[in-house]
Amino acid sequence: MGSVNDETGSGLPDVAVSLEGGPDVATTRTVLSDQVGAFRFVAVSPGSYTLSARRIGYAVEDIGVELQPGESRSVSLTLDTDTLQLEGVVAEVSAANRERARFQTEPGVTARVVEGTTLRVLPGLGEADVLRAVQLLPGVVSTSDFSSSYNVRGGSADQNLILLDGFTIFNPFHLGGLFSVFNADAVERAELFAGGFGAEFGGRVSSVLNIESRGEAPEGMEASGGVSLLASRLLVRSRLPDAVGTALGGQAGSFFISGRRSYFDQLLRPVTEFPYYLGDVQAHAAIETANGGQVSITGYVGQDVLDLGQLGLSDSGDAADVLRLRWNWGNQVIGGRWTQPVGAGWMAESRLGFSRFSERLAFLDFGDVRFESGVDQIVWRGELAKDFPGATSLRIGLAADNLRYRNFAEAGGTTFIDAEGDGLLGGAYASLRWQPRRWIIEPGVRVDAWKTQTVVSPRFAVKRFFGASENMAVKFAAGRYSQFLQSLRDEELPVSNDNWVLADENIPAVVSDQVQLGFEAFWGTGWSASVELYGRTFDGVIEYNLAEDPNDPTDDLQAGDGWSYGVDTQLRRSEGSITGWLTLSFLKAERTFPDPLVASIDELPQTVSYPPIYDRRINFDAVAQYTTASDFEIGIRWNFGSGLPFTRPVAQHFSWWHDPVRGVAGPVAGVDEDDEDDEVDLPVTVVLGPRNAERYPSYHRLDLTVRRSFQRSWGSFVPYLQILNVYNRRNVLFYFYDYDRSPPVRSGFSMFPFLPAIGVEVTF
């Protein structure tokens, strides 16, 4: 193990550290230093080695290391600034390097990386979007153009753990899901763990997405920003003066603060009231401490406001025919992280943070109509890790989450929903990693204790390397995962927010057993490929009970189970003038719930099974990026997906009219009590077919981004053009059925049409 520092003694992250030599002189092993500059190699045979460190903007550092049998060495490397080395090391900090480092050191996790520089080239909705970029990765399904929400390997969207520097973002969307809360200027990278993650991960059962804030700032101060179709934004970052770092108890550090706001409400104010705006602020600071440690702080606050209060007034000030409402929602996050070597080869990490999502909807003309929801989390994590002689390492940790939620709805003096709950979720985990020659074997276990349930989650992963350079591997992972917080969001709606609930006596925790088998290979200049098969079960998923008893507060929800299986493939090129990836995924998923409509009919099945809305059987993505000699950047994405399931109405009929006073009934309309000449319309009943038994037509779309960089003495500016749905494919969002016409007529509502957008980014 060891550390890499710059000339000031500050730890350097993302340094490519290579170990070459020993008994097998043809083999070179490479790892990346972490956020505080620490790195480690395990399962190293005795012998003489050359240790090399490379990072963009720094001179290469090589030292000799002699390792004796049973010896564990700690090495410190210092890199000097050397901008002349740019061309030689530019590839060493790419996403492929990070993925390859995980390939060489992690036995089971399926990790996919999207760098911040890549985000800005990928087509988004008016501007770069982290979550829309994640939708391009294998195993990830998006169900609608109108939402940046996503599903991973047959799991629902609320089963994805989304983190900002390790702290939870509960509802990471603006405008009801249209785009994410993450400002791409402030993102260093996004890393998705789609499966096989170790015992240190808890809280969700489907995937983990960690968004990392931008790291080390340049000397002096740098400002960057832009204006897009959606919002204007500004980011300022700088190194902390040495005196400031010392005053705060550290040695050196850096910070950034980023702000973003939509501008249509201000731009149109002289002409008309625009009812919606959004704003968010993200900040991050890091200070290096003595002996290779680091303290970092991350903060985020964001708010969406939809205000139709003024639009509902006529010129005279009277209420017009517009439903006046005020709807606001947003996230708040603050957290700190401390990593520090603590002697005898141990590395300690601790995190403490607070996360909140809240939402409120009120109708201004109806004072007794309001809806509220919210969820809070106070989180603490503590971890110790150490490498031991004999190619063994140990990782142990504790976790404590204080969780609280509330959902409330009232109208007309009646409270329809008033649900709340809280509790302490405790966790403990341990994993042991053994790395004999060409193998990585990692058993682990996690225990999560909630007030109504304790779940023991064993996990196991193994990887076997092949090839002279160990650039190919077969891996296997199996484990159990649990989740005590679920959302009641209806994923079939294109725009909606989450309503979270905690497990209690009536709501079970989700428990998922998972297994996966995969093959990975790296070769040539930046080429890699992977194939992975997986299977999952989901016990304890919930949905609304359509046959609830209004007088029984315990039957609002019902629990079910499900399963999924599939295969994900990826071919990727990360170096050269043309980079990108091809992905092809197959998925089959199913959910099973009690059927409340036949609960009292013994002759009929008591459950209903159906494919969920995100059961996209075939999903293909082709992503390419090309940088020309004239500073043009071109990004292209083409996606094909087989049809998503939906429930088809098969008929409608009129209900008979019945007058219990006069004792008459018949297939005719009733009479309005206030006007005997006015007949009341007959109530119409729609007959639905089997749940999600039909499929929409297949989906496909081509998106394009073109950027041109202009360098000036004061900085640079980059105008760009984005075009979504270049060939104007009319992809179906949902159907309408008109049974009043003979024959009945089906019509549809499509997703994004041909949609161009322009913007500009500036750095100075």
The angle at the Cα of 536, spanning 535 to 541, to the nearest 5 degrees, equals: 160
Domains (ranges, CATH) in the chain?
2-89 (2.60.40.1120)
- Taking alpha carbons only, the member of 189, 187, 186, 182 closest to residue 32 is 189
Interior angle at CA 135, CA 303 and CA 299, nearest 5 = 35
The pLDDT of residue 87 = 36
Give the whole-angstrom CA distance, residue 269 versus residue 183: 25
Alpha carbon distance 503, 486 (integer Å) = 8
Q: Answer whether 530's CB lies under 8 Å from 463's CB.
A: no
pLDDT for 140:
96
pLDDT for residue 91: 35
Per-residue pLDDT at 283: 95
Q: What distances in angstroms separate CA 597 from CA 560, 591, 611, one per listed residue?
A: 15, 17, 19
In angstroms, the CA 487 to CA 175 distance is 18
**DSSP secondary structure string, 430-491?**
EEEEE--TTEEEEEEEEEEE-SS-EEEEEEEEEEEEESTT--EEEEEEEEEEEESEEE---T
Please report the pLDDT score of residue 613 as a whole number: 94
CA distance 60 to 718: 32
Euclidean distance between CA atoms 744 and 736, whole angstroms: 10
In terms of Cβ atoms closer than 10 Å to its own Cβ (0-12, 13-18, 19+), residue 666 is exposed
CA distance 232 to 210: 25
pLDDT at 677: 52
The per-residue pLDDT for 678 is: 52
Side-chain-facing half-sphere of 217: CA atoms under 13 Å: 26
SS3 113: strand
Report mean pLDDT in 10-residue bins for the chain, 764 residues.
72 81 72 75 80 80 82 79 43 58 86 86 85 93 90 95 94 83 89 92 94 80 87 89 70 87 82 85 88 89 85 53 79 94 87 95 80 95 89 94 93 83 96 92 96 94 90 96 92 77 93 97 90 97 84 84 97 90 97 83 83 96 91 93 93 69 59 51 76 94 94 88 94 85 84 92 88
By the 10 Å C-beta count (0-12 exposed, 13-18 middle, 19+ buried), 702 is classed as middle
The number of C-alpha atoms within 13 Å of 512 and in the hemisphere containing its C-beta is 31
Structure tokens at 442: 């990692």
CA 60, CA 217: separation in Å to the nearest integer? Answer: 21
CB 392 within 8 A of CB 433: yes
Instruction: Tell me if 419 sits within 8 A of 409, measured CB to CB.
Output: no
The pair of structure tokens assigned to 224 is 């960057």
The one-letter code for the residue type at 45 is S
Q: What is the mean pLDDT of the chain?
A: 85
- The pTM (predicted TM-score) of the whole model is 0.85
For every residue of 656-670, DSSP letters joined together read PEEETTTTEEESS--
As a whole number of angstroms, the distance between CA 580 and CA 575 comes to 9
CA distances from 498 to 179, 486, 491, 503, 591 (A): 15, 9, 10, 16, 20
- Residues contacting 53, CB < 8 A, separation 6+: 4, 15, 16, 17, 18, 60, 61, 62, 77, 79
The answer to whether the CB of 202 falls within 8 A of the CB of 454 is no
* CB 103, CB 520: distance < 8 Å: yes
CA 85, CA 599: separation in Å to the nearest integer? Answer: 72
Q: What single-letter DSSP state applies at residue 313?
A: B
* Dihedral of alpha carbons 106, 107, 108, 110, sign: positive
For residue 581, how many other CB atoms are within 10 A of its CB? 21
Which residues are registered as beta bridge partners of 684? 654
Q: Which residues touch 458 (CB under 8 Å, ≥6 apart)?
A: 443, 444, 445, 479, 480
pLDDT, tens digit, for every residue of 193-252?
Answer: 999 999 999 999 999 999 999 877 777 788 988 998 888 999 999 888 777 767 666 777
Question: With helix as H, strand as E and coil as C, how does 741-757 read?
Answer: CCCCEEEEEECCCCEEE
Write phi, then psi, for 105 (nearest 5 degrees).
-120, -20
Kind plus residue range of the DSSP H or E element containing 361: strand 346-363
